[in-house]
Structure 1
Amino acid sequence: MKKIIKNGTVVTASDTFSADICIENGVVSMIGHELHDPQAEIIDASGCYIFPGGIDPHTHLDMPFGGTVTKDDFETGTIAAAFGGTTTIIDFCLTNKGEPLQSAIDTWHKKSKDKAVIDYSFHLMIGEINDDVLTELKEVINKEGITSFKVFMAYKNVFQADDGTLYRTLLAAKDLGALVMVHAENGDVIDYLTKQALKEGKTDPIYHALTRPPEVEGEATGRACQLTELADSQLYVVHVSCKEAVEQISKARDKGLNIWGETCPQYLVLDKTYLEKPNFEGAKYVWSPPLRDKEHQEVLWNALKNGQLQTLGSDQCSFDFKGQKELGRGDFTKIPNGGPTIEDRISILFSEGVQKGRITLNQFVDITSTRIAKLFGLFPKKGTIAVGTDADIVIFDPKKERVLSANTHHMAVDYNAFEGMKIKGEPITVLSRGEYVIKNKTFVGKPGRGQYIKRAKYGKSLNLSVNETLRI
């Protein structure tokens, strides 16, 4: 059915204006004033902002790790994402050495089939590089539309790839039109520090952070940037958590390199002391990179404001405290890494960023949606509100105050990483391709309605211009 959204304030990455939005056949068909159609459903957005649907570039749903599997799958995870104002996610396919890349992709298609309530796509992990892998990468891009490859510089003997693999992946990505993503921590040094800590009987959750100091993230980030420069390629550094990494990315960008950085809400509002919570509750906050000293938070906020960092991902990777995080009692290395963040990503950035004057409204949209769409080949169909774009739209009440809690969130996990945090601003209604997923804060979507999205090659979306302020 045709819908017209009225009385709201439209916000894109470049403009803020009052307008009506007409939606037909899943796309925005008209933007203007005093739009009327007796056959259309009228959606009243009085007092609300109208944002393009959020895009989460960093999720781990139904992912095996540390002898267990993340609690949220493609159904519960995407429902929670929708409640949080996200209408597209990009999840990570984990590969196994010696096995065809397509087998990993097929596995992730099975995980997501008939479950996702919003649109989704995949990144692909690269753990080895050889002639077979290089040949298959071309097929992956053409057949699957996967145009981003993830290389781990950490998790020794599990995910970690060597520098040669990273460098050859960068070279391949340059030729193939793909974006290389890195988890930038020095896995070899972490391995040594971890073994030393356990040898000394240091087993509590706080030692997860103490064995992964900011220096190992800064070093790995700098190394990845230099290899990118050598390869004349493009790089996206995921989950940046500290000043040392920001400095390396900023220095590389000042040289004109195609290097981009992402941070996550947990690094903006939580700090290392959470890992010291009694009764092993610090385990709830074990993820990698770890939480840092509080001083790093303002560095990250400033980096978002001045463009040194460009995006916000959730790094959603949820494990129950009971029965999963508890696997690491007596040995912090056995605590499954990750936390539940997919639902609160956008609201935290709005409340702590826009409401407190750290970033502008337009920067908020760019950081949570537009820039991600451009980097990962989704723009202009997604990431903005303009005639012809997918009607992925969030009606957001900036005045709504609430307290984040496991008692009210929609993730399947048994705790909330931001428990008790007071925030201002909440998604009220969320449309995906013109269909209600959340209506007046109630889930009305359907598992399986989410579509797999094939993405364009890197660079094709970066320089596209769309008349985002078209008014009729």
Structure 2
Amino acid sequence: MDFDLVITNGIIVTASEVLPSGLQIGVRDGKISCIGTNLPCGGSTQVIDAEGAYITPGGVDSHVHLAQKNAPTGDGWETGTRSAIAGGTTTIIAFASQEKEDLSLWPVLDEYIKVSKDQSYCDYGYHFILTNPTAEILHNEVPLLAKDHGITSVKLYMTYDAMKVNDREVLDILFTCKALGMTTMIHAENHDMIAKLIEGLERNKNTEPYFHAVARPRIAEDEASYRAISLAELADAPMLLVHMSSDVAVQHVRDAQGRLLPIHAETCPHYLFLLSDKLKAEPHDHFHGAKHVCSPPLRHSPDDLEGLWRSIANGTFTTFSSDHAPSKYDVPGGKRLGLVDGIPRFTRIPNGLPGIETRMPLLFGQTPACQTPEQARLSLPRFVQLTATNPAKLYGLDGRKGSILPGYDADLVIWHPGDTGSCVIKQANLHHDMDYTPFEGMPVGNWPRYTILRGQVVWDQAKGILGKLQYGQYLKRGKGEVLTGRTGNLPRGMLEDERKYWR
């Protein structure tokens, strides 16, 4: 049988190695059929000559907010997923979000299915944000979410009045998810610390966008991260700390991993490339800093960036996600909600930044594909781990997504051969529905030349978007894998038989 697609003359990168040049990828029925040499090509076989470029798995962005009620000017499914494939991402996992007054998850899920069905350029799944984890929901609904819908991960907030859960609720969710083989994601910031600082800042009339970073200091993330790890240790449950921005908080993760606890960590491009000075006013626009308001906030010191880069390279971080959660800047209902009668109020500025399209190029630009060996911040296999293989495994997509192996979906990114050098991020070139990018003018060493989803070229940089809106498929996910440490650990200081008295 002929292949549907053969990719020749590329350098294949996996999560463990860079394969020798000269290998070919044969694709049939949307799957990688084989990796070999001299693959037969019939008259119907499409052949793509990679011209010596690197080939990596299609990106898996496991932290994406689309069509969210709290971001009415944000990206919807059509524009967000269009942007994803233009940046090399072929799979996203977005959020169905429970509100405090929701006593059941089913209406929330039904509504989110309606807004996403047949509206995606890429393959996709859902996480569920839990804000009101009642006993009914945890005992009866969450197990069915996993079994019937393949939603095998939930996200919790330790801050925000409208969303936060208390420590007891975190524990209840951790125990439930551990029993079901689900992944628990936690936004860790100390709510009371932040509330206290906001009161003082507002009393002293310090309400410009920059003070968003002052109101959410690093110590608030450090404390909450340690507390979340302690709760997970008691529950003996896997956990992922999302969008980490503080090297001290990451050190808590590293220490936990050193004790073989199943604690995973995620960071995002804005915490590696941007600092809090982006939140300050500019001469032409005193409210300009609102574009860069996100939580946790951008940090103050280059030392924070360097600490995170070390954790990218040394394996502490499990995943690298965009946390694409944008609001437009210069439209009613967007970031300018933070201007009240002409006075800036940072607490009213919608949180979140655009980044789904720029995630992959920004990190690829720091590998030896674009940097000298001395300047590269991570290896090519580490790039693949962070952007594709690890999130696929952690969120129950292993065997289908995130790797270049026979039997996996033919989701591939072919980069430009060599270091293009002159590639610069510009809002005018992006495919999201936002009116800015926080990375405007930032040089990256390369950009996806082709994005391939299940054997179909959906992005060709020379021709633009080739994929169809309804081509994206919903992914019913399996149980997540523990990629760091293991379960079965005994909390420090606890006797072997203590658990039997309270479990």
Q: Is the 8 A contact 2:401 2:409 kept in 1?
A: yes
**What is the rounded CA distance, in whole Å, between the counterparts of 1:63 and 1:93 in structure 2?**
8
**What is the rounded CA distance, in whole Å, between the counterparts of 2:481 and 2:308 in structure 1?**
26
**What is the rounded CA distance, in whole Å, between the counterparts of 1:102 and 1:313 in structure 2?**
27
**What is the rounded CA distance, in whole Å, between the counterparts of 2:483 and 2:165 in structure 1?**
29
- Alignment partner of 1:69 out of 57, 72, 80: 72
Q: How far did 1:37 drift?
A: 1.5
Q: How far did 1:460 drift?
A: 8.0
Q: How far did 1:69 drift?
A: 1.4
2:73 equivalent to 1:85: no
Aligned position for 1:446? 468
Structure with greater Cα Rg: 2
Tell me the matched-pair count: 460
Q: Deviations over 1:39-87 (max 9, x none)?
A: 311111012111110000100011122xx41421111111111011000
Aligned position for 2:479? 457
Q: Is the 8 A contact 2:201 2:215 kept in 1?
A: yes
Q: How far did 1:113 drift?
A: 1.3
**What is the rounded CA distance, in whole Å, between the counterparts of 1:308 and 1:409 in structure 2?**
31
Q: What amino acid maps onto 2:229 in structure 1?
A: C
Q: How far did 1:353 drift?
A: 4.4
Superposed CA RMSD: 1.5
- Alignment partner of 1:110 out of 107, 114, 130: 114
Q: How far did 1:462 drift?
A: 8.8
Aligned position for 1:296? 304
Aligned position for 1:390? 409
Using the TM superposition, name which of 316-325 and 433-442 deviates more. Answer: 433-442
Q: What amino acid maps onto 2:406 in structure 1?
A: V
**What is the rounded CA distance, in whole Å, between the counterparts of 1:292 and 1:359 in structure 2?**
22
Q: What amino acid maps onto 2:25 in structure 1?
A: I
2:253 partner SS: helix
**What is the rounded CA distance, in whole Å, between the counterparts of 2:216 and 2:366 in structure 1?**
27
Aligned position for 2:488? none
Aligned position for 1:379? 398
2:330 equivalent to 1:325: no
Aligned position for 1:11? 13
Alignment of structure 1 residues 60-459 onto 2, 5 Å: 60-65=65-70, 68-97=71-100, 98-134=102-138, 135-155=140-160, 157-278=161-282, 279-293=286-300, 294-323=302-331, 324-329=334-339, 330-354=344-368, 355=371, 356-397=375-416, 398-400=418-420, 401-441=422-462, 442-459=464-481
2:264 partner SS: strand
**What is the rounded CA distance, in whole Å, between the counterparts of 1:338 and 1:111 in structure 2?**
21
**What is the rounded CA distance, in whole Å, between the counterparts of 1:194 and 1:273 in structure 2?**
19
Using the TM superposition, name which of 393-402 and 343-352 deviates more. Answer: 393-402
Q: Is the 8 A contact 1:70 1:317 kept in 2?
A: no
Aligned position for 2:499? none
1:403 partner SS: coil
Q: Is the 8 A contact 1:64 1:70 kept in 2?
A: no
Normalising by structure 1, report the TM-score: 0.95
Q: How far did 1:425 drift?
A: 1.1
Using the TM superposition, name which of 108-117 and 262-271 deviates more. Answer: 108-117
**What is the rounded CA distance, in whole Å, between the counterparts of 2:336 and 2:413 in structure 1?**
37
1:165 partner SS: helix
Q: Is the 8 A contact 1:63 1:70 kept in 2?
A: no
Q: Deviations over 1:386-418 (max 9, x none)?
A: 111000111112522311111111111001110
Q: Is the 8 A contact 1:27 1:389 kept in 2?
A: yes
Q: Is the 8 A contact 2:243 2:267 kept in 1?
A: yes
Using the TM superposition, name which of 378-387 and 121-130 deviates more. Answer: 121-130
Aligned position for 1:470? none
Q: How far did 1:100 drift?
A: 1.1
Q: What amino acid maps onto 2:90 in structure 1?
A: T
1:439–1:81 CA distance, 2 compared to 1 (3 A): same
2:99 partner SS: coil
Normalising by structure 2, report the TM-score: 0.89
**What is the rounded CA distance, in whole Å, between the counterparts of 1:273 and 1:166 in structure 2?**
34
**What is the rounded CA distance, in whole Å, between the counterparts of 2:219 and 2:208 in structure 1?**
21
Q: Percent identity?
A: 39
1:461–1:207 CA distance, 2 compared to 1 (3 A): closer
**What is the rounded CA distance, in whole Å, between the counterparts of 2:24 and 2:366 in structure 1?**
28
Q: Is the 8 A contact 2:262 2:484 kept in 1?
A: no
Structure 2: 5+ residue stretches without partners: 486-503
**What is the rounded CA distance, in whole Å, between the counterparts of 1:462 and 1:101 in structure 2?**
30
Q: Is the 8 A contact 1:52 1:394 kept in 2?
A: yes
Q: What amino acid maps onto 1:298 in structure 2?
A: E
Q: How far did 1:130 drift?
A: 2.6
Using the TM superposition, name which of 393-402 and 159-168 deviates more. Answer: 393-402
Q: What amino acid maps onto 2:36 in structure 1?
A: G
**What is the rounded CA distance, in whole Å, between the counterparts of 1:434 and 1:207 in structure 2?**
48
**What is the rounded CA distance, in whole Å, between the counterparts of 2:106 and 2:96 in structure 1?**
10
Using the TM superposition, name which of 351-360 and 246-255 deviates more. Answer: 351-360
2:265 partner SS: strand
Q: What amino acid maps onto 1:429 in structure 2?
A: Y
**What is the rounded CA distance, in whole Å, between the counterparts of 2:36 and 2:366 in structure 1?**
32
**What is the rounded CA distance, in whole Å, between the counterparts of 2:105 and 2:253 in structure 1?**
30
**What is the rounded CA distance, in whole Å, between the counterparts of 1:461 and 1:257 in structure 2?**
10
Q: Is the 8 A contact 1:127 1:165 kept in 2?
A: no
Q: How far did 1:15 drift?
A: 2.0
Q: Deviations over 1:249-277 (max 9, x none)?
A: 11111111000000000110100110013
2:325 partner SS: coil
Q: What amino acid maps onto 1:197 in structure 2?
A: L
Alignment of structure 1 residues 33-48 onto 2, 5 Å: 33-39=37-43, 40-48=45-53
**What is the rounded CA distance, in whole Å, between the counterparts of 1:277 and 1:56 in structure 2?**
31
1:122 partner SS: strand
